[in-house]
């Protein structure tokens, strides 16, 4: 009967060694899979969420700047059109101006007596 506990001790030692070997194998497999996934991600040129969020923010800022520039351009074009219309339209008649003189008396010349 004294051989029996030693047998079980040996069996437990072998089982424990097998479990630790399997745990090491599992860690090695995880590292290998992680390396393969990282390689696949690099090949697919995927980006991280933080990078995507930063690019989305930059695009939103650019879009807002473009809309502001378009609004400013439209205002400037309207202003130029209004100024061109003022330049090309005929001057309104000046009712306060006297008509040009038609006779010397109207011109302020006095005839000698």
Chain segment 7-44, per-residue pLDDT in tens: 777 777 888 888 788 788 888 999 999 999 989 888 98
**Could you give the CA distance from residue 16 to residue 11 in angstroms, rounded to a whole number?**
9
Is the pTM higher than 0.85? no
The C-alpha atoms of residue 92 and residue 65 are separated, in whole angstroms, by 42
Q: Which residues contact 55 (CB under 8 A, 6 or more apart)?
A: 47
pLDDT tens figures, 34-84: 999 989 888 988 888 999 999 999 999 999 999 999 999 999 999 999 999
CB 86 within 8 A of CB 79: no
């Amino acid at each position: 009967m004294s051989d029996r506990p030693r047998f079980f001790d040996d069996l437990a030692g072998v089982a424990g060694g097998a479990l630790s070997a399997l745990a090491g194998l599992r860690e090695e497999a995880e590292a290998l899979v992680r390396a393969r996934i990282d390689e696949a991600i690099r090949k697919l040129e995927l980006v991280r969420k933080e990078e995507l969020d930063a690019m989305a923010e930059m695009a939103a800022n650019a879009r807002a700047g473009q809309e502001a520039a378009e609004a400013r351009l439209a205002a400037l074009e309207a202003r130029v059109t209004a100024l061109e219309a003022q330049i090309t339209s005929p001057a309104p008649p000046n009712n306060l101006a006297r008509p040009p003189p038609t006779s010397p008396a109207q011109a302020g010349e006095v005839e000698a007596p």
